A and B are shown apart, each in its own frame.
Chain A
Amino acid sequence: MIEASLVMLFIGAGCFMYRLLRGPSLPDRVVGVDGLLSTIVIAIVVVATDKHSGLTVETVLVAVLVGFVGTTALSRFIERRGD
């Protein structure tokens, strides 16, 4: 079960990375980053479940907040920069 989840998450992360590297425009790349971070968050929770560790989940808190701040900051940057 865990292996299946991790494989799928790996594929998903790979797709987001593809969008990050390929995405013809900057906003496409930000979509990739945002999805990538969400996938990483899910992966941390899956690993925490595997280890039965409630404390590992605490790191997810930080990841979610950082992801949100990062995406919003990038959005402001895009808005100001006028590519």
Chain B
Amino acid sequence: MSIVSGVFLVVGSALAMIGGIGTVRFPDFLSRMHAAAKAPTLGLLLVAIGAAIEIGTEIAITTLVLVVILQLLSSPVGAHALSRASRRQVVVQLDDVDQLTRDEQDGPAAD
């Protein structure tokens, strides 16, 4: 196992761990979504790079490229779908402006 690919694996896994810690520590649903959607995605990208370096066969590399593309496309879409669907079910705690509720109530403002 070369050092380079090992580093990629470790950093990618660390990112996944940090994403997990984030979902535990953040105080509300939408913030947790931030951590859960972004961190494992980049973690997968890094780990895939490490795996591609280490395994090196053509089949592995093409499959990993496919996996990364699919994850990059599907992760934000899933996050968006979940966030959008959950707005009614979850108390959205905000510290500042909420232009979405404003636009829902008054109609889109020319802001």
Write the residues of chain A forming the contact surface with B, with a CB cutoff of 8 angstroms.
Answer: 1-2, 4-6, 8-9, 11-16, 18-19, 25-28, 30-32, 34-35, 38-39, 41-42, 45-46, 48-50, 52-55, 57-58, 60-61, 64-65, 67-68, 71-72, 74-76, 78-79, 82-83
Contact = CB atoms under 8 A, between A and B. Distances in A.
A42 B85 contact: no
16 contacts: A1-B9, A2-B6, A5-B47, A8-B16, A12-B40, A18-B24, A26-B86, A35-B40, A39-B19, A39-B40, A45-B48, A45-B51, A46-B9, A61-B63, A61-B67, A72-B77
B13 to A, nearest CB: 4
User: Among the interface residues A4, A14, A42, A54, which one has the most CB atoms of the partner chain B within 10 A?
Assistant: A42
B66 to A, nearest CB: 6
B9 to A, nearest CB: 5
Please report whether the interface of chain B is mostly helix, strand, loop or mixed according to DSSP. Answer: helix
Interface residues of B, number: 55
